[in-house]
Structures are given as C-alpha cells and as structure tokens.
Amino acid sequence: MRGKLKELRERRKLMGAVGMIAIVALIFAFVNSPAIIGASATTRKLPIYSVERSDKVVSLTFDAAWGNEDTQELIDILGQYGVKATFFVVGDWVDKYPESVKALHDAGHEVMSHSDDHAHFSKLSAAEIKDNINASCDKIEDVTGVRPTLFRAPYGEYDDHVIETVESMGMNTIQWDVDSLDWKEISAAEITERVTSRVGNGSIVLFHNAAKNTPEALPAIIEYLLGEGYTIVPVSELLLDGEYTIDHTGRQIPAENS
C-alpha cells in the first residue's frame, strides 16, 4: 500500500512539473510571437528608414563628418547624370569646408544636419540636442541661405528621447534601409553589389563623402538605378506629404494604409 501511495505521489509531482513546463512554453510562445513583437516595436519612436512608394523613386544620401577628399568629384559624377542627392553634414565640417557646402548647394543638392560635432545624442539632454542641432543648422543656413529640415543622428544612434526632441523642432530624423558599407573601404564592385541587390521603391541609400571607393562605384550604381526605371530624388522629395505613420521597420507609410 505504501509503495502505491509513493508511486501516486511521484506521478503527481511529474504531472505538475510537466504542466508547469507547458504553461511556461505557452507564455514564451505568446510573448515572442511576431504579432506581439510587432505591437511592442510600434510603440518605439523611430526615424524614417524608407518610404512606402508605389512608384520607383529612391534617394542617395552622403554623410560628411571628417574628410573632404572627394566632395567635388561626387558633385561632378552626380552632375553628369543630372542626379540630386542629400548630404548630411556636421557643423564642424561646415566650419572647415564652407566652400564645399556652397558647392553642394549651388549644384542643387540638399544640405542637411548631421549634428554640430558628431556627438552621441542618446547621452545628451533635450536642451543639449536642440542646441547642438540648431548650431549646425545655423552654420549651414549661413552658407546656403536654406535652413535644414532633416537630421541624421551621428553613428546612426537614437532612442525615443532623441526622436521626440528632433520632432519637437519640426524636423524629421532620417536613417537608411540600404547601407553601402563604403566606410569599410570595401571594393567598388562590392559597394555596387550591396546597393543594387538591396534597393527598392522608397529606399534611402547611405554613402559617405570621403569613403575610398565610393566615387568609383557611384556611376555604376546610378546607371543601374536609371536603367531599372528609378527616379533619384533628394530625401525631402521622397518623403510623403500629409498624414503618415511609421511602422516597426521604420518605413513611412500613408495614414490610410496603416
């Protein structure tokens, strides 16, 4: 009799343990389901990584923070194809190369803010973020006569605090969905392959103005895009007018489609 009671207790313990494992597994599956993750992600404040467009429109962007070896060459290449791009420049870079900033503007390219000194913005207060961006915008406006409306965070780093502060200034924070990785000094062929294999309607492509092989890669990339029927426009022309939302991937979509 005692043996049977002991066996029954052991079975109950085993069934209880199995039941607890099953409950934990169900909770884990529920919390980590795509629907739940997506719902959680949409509560985050995100920059614009890309834009939902039915037409074949893309933007080429260049970050300028340090060197200035090939800015004029990039202007010349873009000019050969009649392409207008967006350059996100650091205020310190404007101080060093005001003639290049003016050349970019005179060639019809957008010159937007990439901060004043390439700081880590998530470590700054709201007041410091505003002062930093305004300082860079003041410098750009002094040279071009046009005040920036777009901002790209240094290092691509951001959090809710950064995005909310930039939005409170009436500016959009712009990220990218196609990274050329040109800053790694990969070959022109690799840069071209990365961009052409990843680009799509509404893409924002990231380059740098002083990357070693970008000037060599740029003509082939532009020729591919034009050959595929894409129109290349500055970011401000890529963005949607009117009401919109930003999904969990950072894609800007019309409000009626959200």
Residues forming the active site: 63, 208
Nearest Cα to Cα of residue 44 among 246, 202, 204: 246
Question: In the block, which residue shows the tokens 């410091």?
Answer: 128
Q: List the structure tokens of 10.
A: 């052991």
Q: At what angle do helices 71-80 and 98-106 cross, to 10 degrees?
A: 10
Spatial separation of the C-alpha atoms in residues 150 and 46, rounded to whole Å? 14
Task: Count the helices and strands in the chain (H runs, E runs).
Answer: 10, 11
DSSP designation for 240: P
Main-chain phi, psi angles of 255, to 5 degrees: -60, -35
Q: Enumerate residues 6+ apart whose C-beta is below 8 A from 256.
A: 243
Q: CB of 232 within 8 A of CB of 92?
A: no
Q: CB of 204 within 8 A of CB of 59?
A: yes
